[in-house]
Amino acid sequence: MSDAPGTRSEQGNTKTRQYATFFVSDLFFGIEVLNVQEVLRYQEMTRVPRADNVIEGLINLRGQIVTAFDMRSRLQLGERETGETPMNVVVRTEDGPVSLLVDEIGDVIEVSEENFERPPETITELARETLEGVYKLDDRLLLVLATDRVLQLN
């Protein structure tokens, strides 16, 4: 992911970027659209016993085995309500595709770089670790997810 403000000037005069957005709990997140491979409905999942509980399971993505991350538990946003099925946001990583389980899919939106801001110092360490920054939209804040750091487990 190259969301760092420094790399952005390459974008040319428009100075806008496109983000695929989704909701986890009541938070509005975005991942740069080029890094998103696809978005899927809930897939049948095979649990991986003994794995970190952030890892929800494995899904069969057209013959490819993809590891699914539960964003709620990764971001410590509490349990998903029973009956709600998460959606898969499949992102590309160096280690092949990884699916992020989110509550709801939003639109692909185009944002202007002027509205970007680093996360404030006051947020928790977890938030700082997983966030690249924030776009100030008219009606809400778009949190830019640092995918590579999100997918790093200790």
Partner 1 sequence: MTPLSTDESACTSTPPGLDSLCRFPCLDFFMTSPSNRLGAGDPDRHPSIRGARGVLQPKHRRDLAVCRLRRIPLGRCRRERKLRGKTLSPGTKAARQKDDQFSRLERCPNKHMDETQEIIKEFLIESNENLAQLDLEFVELEQRPNDQNLLSSIFRTIHTIKGTCGFLGFGILEAITHRAENMLSQLREGQRRLTPGLTTLLLETVDIVKNILAEIETTGAEGSQTYDELRNRLQAACDGQDPEEPAAGEASAAGPSEDQADPSEPTRDAAGQTPADETFQGEPQPEPTSQDTGEPAEPATTAAESVAGEASSGAGHLEAAASSKEAAASSRKAPAETRSSVADSTIRVPVGVLDKLMNLVGELVLARNQVLQHTTTQEDAGLTATSQRLNLITTELQANVMKTRMQPIGVVWNKFPRVVRDLGHAAGKQIDLEMEGAETELDKTIIEAIKDPLTHIVRNSCDHGIETPEQRAAKGKQARGRLTMRAYHEGGQVNIEIADDGAGIDPQKLKQKAVQKGLVPVDQAERMSEREMHNLIFLPGLSTAEKVTNVSGRGVGMDVVKTNVEKIGGSIDLQSAVGQGTTIKIKIPLTLAIIPALVASCAGERFAIPQVNLVELVRLETGGGGQQIEWIHGAPVYRLRGKLLPLVYLNKVLELEGAGLDEEDSEKAAESVNIIVLQADDKTFGLVVDGVNDTAEIVVKPLSKLLKGLTCYAGATIMGDGRVALILDVMGLGQLAHVVSQTREQTHVAREHQADLVAERQTVLLFRSGSAERLAVPLALVDRLEEFPHSQIEQSGCRRVVQYRQQILPLIPLAELLSLGDSAAETQDPVQVVVFSEGARRMGVVVDEILDIVEETISIRSRTSRQGILGSAVVSGNVTDFIDLHYLIEAADKNWFGGSQDERAEGARVLVAEGSSFSRGLMRNSLEMAGFRVIEAGTTAEVLDKLKQQSVDVMVSSLDLPGDDPSDLLASIRVVPDLCGLPILGLANTAEETHPQPGAEYQFDDCQLKFDRDSMLRSVEKLAAVVTNRQPVEQRG
d(CA 143, CA 13): 23
- Closer to partner 1 by Cβ: residue 54 or 134: 54
83 binds partner 1 (CB under 8 A): no
Nearest residue (CB) to partner 1, 12 versus 63? 63
**Which one of 4, 34, 51, 126 is in contact with partner 1 (CB under 8 A)?**
51
Binds partner 1 by CB under 8 A, chosen from 35, 67, 88, 130: 67
Q: Fill in the DSSP letter of residue 152.
A: -
Binding-site member from 5, 84, 96, 126 for partner 1 (CB under 8 A)? 96
Considering the complex, state which of residue 69 and residue 116 has its C-beta at the smaller distance from partner 1.
69
Tokens of 83: 């009956």
Stretch that binds partner 1, among 4-12, 38-46, 70-78, 79-87 (CB under 8 A): 38-46
When the beta carbons of 17 and 74 are compared against partner 1, the nearer one is 74
Nearest to 31 by CA among 68, 2, 8: 2
Quote the CA–CA distance of 134 and 53 in Å, as a whole number. Answer: 27
Beta bridge partners of 152: none
Amino acid, single-letter form, for residue 117: E
Look-up of token digits 């100075």: 15
Residue 65 as a binder of partner 1 (CB under 8 A): the answer is: yes
Of residues 64 and 76, the one with the C-beta less far from partner 1? 64
| Chain-centroid distance, C-alpha 102 | 8
Q: Of 86, 90, 87, 71, which is closest to residue 27 (Cα–Cα)?
A: 71
Binding site for partner 1 (CB under 8 A): 44-52, 55, 57-60, 62-63, 65-67, 95-96, 98, 151, 153
